[in-house]
Chain A
Amino acid sequence: MFLQQLINGITIGSTYALVAIGYSMVFGVLELINFANGSVYMLGAYITLMIYVNMLGNFWLSFALSLVLTGMVGYCIDRFGLRRLRSKNVPKVTGLITTLGISQVIEHGVRIFFGSETKAFPNMIDFGYVKVAGATIGSSQVIILCTSLVLMICVSLLVYKTKLGKAMLAVSQSSEASKLMGINVNGIISLTFILSSSLAAVAGTMVGMYYQNVDASMGFSVGMKTLASAVLGGVGVLPGAMVGGLLMGIFESLGASYVSSGYRDAISFAILIAVILVKPTGLFGHKQINKV
């Protein structure tokens, strides 16, 4: 049974990891926590479903369209909500409140325009199960894990090996200096938002497929947990976010089965707090050097 729980934990953890990467990326370039990420995750799943059910019949096409649309939503959040704030030199908390407001707008908007019932979601990746050492592994779990790993590797390659990624790293270190170097800072930030929203949409759709339903409130609790994962791994550090996501999933799963199902989320948060207290910058976070 331990193996079964571990596998469940890894599956759900890999979806957390995808959303956590989004948080980390946005934090890296903007030093801002994008609370709307959880809602965008939910929105991605809903858009896929709505396009699939109401317009096209082809799931994968709907999925692709949803990625594009959700990316655009992410772009709009930055362009219309946050860009003005950057140019005005405002305290960081303002951006936070803006993203909180946007997440409420998205959640209530989805309820009003798409209906508030839980909706069935087709599972396109269900090809059966295989029994390994007493545990049942489903094809969906394997595919989710693989997709997450592939995407994580792609994002890492993008950030650490390409020129564009170098620009993102430069902006996260110092946007002033980057401007002086000729980097289009606003463009890089928009790109970061588009990327993080698309990743969230992928995660949302995959979770929808895995559990075969979606509802408008799935964004909120997942948003909190993935934020915690990103922080657990060290904010701004991409590999950290991935590891953090996987670990949160595993803690949740093991905690629910071995400690107490009622305190499920409390256990993952308690472990998170313990880790941060021991290592104040998260697992892989850089020690911040404060100059006075």
Chain B
Amino acid sequence: MKKTIAGLLASLMVVAALSGCGVSGNGSSGGNSAASSSSGSEKHTLAMSVPLTGTMMQYGTSYRNGAELAVADFNAAGGINGEDVVLAVYDDKGDQKEAINVANIIIENDDIFAVIGSYGSSVSMAAAPVYQEAGMPMISPNTSHPDYPDIGDMMIPMSCKSEVVFGEVGRTLAEEFGPCKMAVIYQNTDVGITTLEAVKEGFEGAGGTVCTTETFVPNQTKDYTPLLSSIKQTDPDILFMVAEYNDGASITLQAQQLGMDDVQLVGVGNLFKQEFLNLTGDKADGMLLMGISRIYTDEVMENSDFGAYTEDIVKRYNEKYASGGVAFDNFAAIAYDSAMVAMNAAKNAGTNDTQALVAQIKKLDIDLCAGQAYFAENGDLIREIFTFTVEDGKFVMK
């Protein structure tokens, strides 16, 4: 009995090893074959390094779906001179070492012309030097780590640095609410810290005061009452949250429970999802959401004009992916844009000269469904800032 189990296990591992080695660039989807024959000089494969397992699985899935749709649309519109683009998705588990392994697989595949990845700055920063070294353009949908563009010219962030966005947000808040007290509760990640610094500078520069800050480690606890009680003691007028949507929802609910009804809640980027409202119910009413992300719920789409291009994409994405999954959100939007930008640049500038490819990508001269964006003189990405609020348990654009 034991020998048969051992034998089965060994043969399973051998089969896995053989299949893994044989198909070293796996998970292709969208479009038809034609990928491995890198005939001529045009490359046709767009790679993605995203977490498909692990704690960040939901975001990786949104990225993959967004990019899949983009690749399907692009191929339907003719592809690169008639040839289809193939999407090769790799799972990096949201882990740094995995991302580096994936990066090494990707740079060896001659047919890949660009890579979209990953979710989370610590993972992207770890893999970036590998791509830079190999001259592979890396488009990162949400890395806002300040050192990321400095790694090299192959790095293309699709998300703004915190100082660019949140200084402005802080100033706007000070102007709208007058010189008042703000408390900041932020997650202890690169996003949290850079956002805190930027908001603080903007807010205090325009006359407000940041009376207290509290930090937490994301995914370690659901109980924010000690932090909120400390904040309540300082009697702030605004409570600024930098958190993922699940922590943000817990903070919102617990703030209400503690009786902080008169404090204006302000949240940023990652809360811009329907899942956030699913968790808070109607307790988030009156909350302000400011950032570079947009919300694509039905109510917002009905009442605002994002343009026919965006509306069409949202509709088709929801038809294909929303049931049993997550509806179109900003993560999928930026992934869609990243893929489209890469593919269009490949079509226009060719894939042989990576410098030209990167320059073409950075022009961002196509329609973007996540909102207007452009690269400034100093290399920073600039995006418009959107403000949303919540009324009757639904998002409303301001």
Interface residues of A (CB under 8 A from B): 1, 4-5, 8, 12, 108, 111-112, 115-120, 129, 136, 138, 207, 211-213, 215-218, 221, 252-254, 256-257, 261-262, 264-265
Contact = CB atoms under 8 A, between A and B. Distances in A.
A118 B279 contact: yes
A265 B220 contact: yes
A212 B253 CA distance: 9
Contacts of A138: 257
B379 interface: no
Contact of B217 (A117, A218, A262): A262
A215 B246 contact: yes
A111 B53 contact: yes
A8 B246 CA distance: 20
B227 A256 contact: yes
Contact of A207 (B217, B222, B245, B326): B222
Contacts of B4: none
Given A138-B257, A207-B222, A211-B223, 12 more contacts: A5-B225, A8-B229, A108-B53, A116-B55, A117-B58, A118-B279, A136-B259, A213-B279, A252-B223, A257-B226, A264-B216, A264-B221
Contacts, number: 94
Contact of A117 (B215, B233, B257, B326): B326
B275 interface: yes
Contacts of B220: 221, 264-265
Contacts of B221: 221, 252, 264-265
B163 to A, nearest CB: 22
B261 to A, nearest CB: 12
Contact of A1 (B223, B229, B246): B229
Nearest to B218: A217
Given A120-B278, A221-B219, A261 B226 contact: yes
B194 interface: no
Contacts of B217: 262, 264-265
Q: 7 tightest A-B contacts by CB?
A: A257-B226, A118-B246, A116-B57, A256-B226, A211-B222, A116-B58, A8-B225
Contacts of B281: 120
Interface residues of B, number: 37
B232 to A, nearest CB: 8
Given A8-B225, A217-B55, A256-B227, A261 B216 contact: yes
Contact of B222 (A108, A112, A213, A254): A213
Interface string B180-209: 000000001000000000000000000000
11 contacts: A115-B325, A116-B58, A117-B275, A118-B249, A136-B259, A212-B279, A217-B219, A221-B219, A221-B220, A257-B227, A261-B230
Nearest to A222: B221
A108 B91 CA distance: 14
Nearest to B283: A212
Given A8-B226, A211-B250, A136 B58 contact: no
Contact of A253 (B188, B226, B246, B249): B226
B61 interface: yes
A242 to B, nearest CB: 19
B15 interface: no
B227 A262 contact: no
Report which residue of A108, A116, A215 has the largest number of chain B beta carbons within 10 angstroms of its beta carbon. A116
B258 interface: yes
Contact of B246 (A4, A213, A257): A213
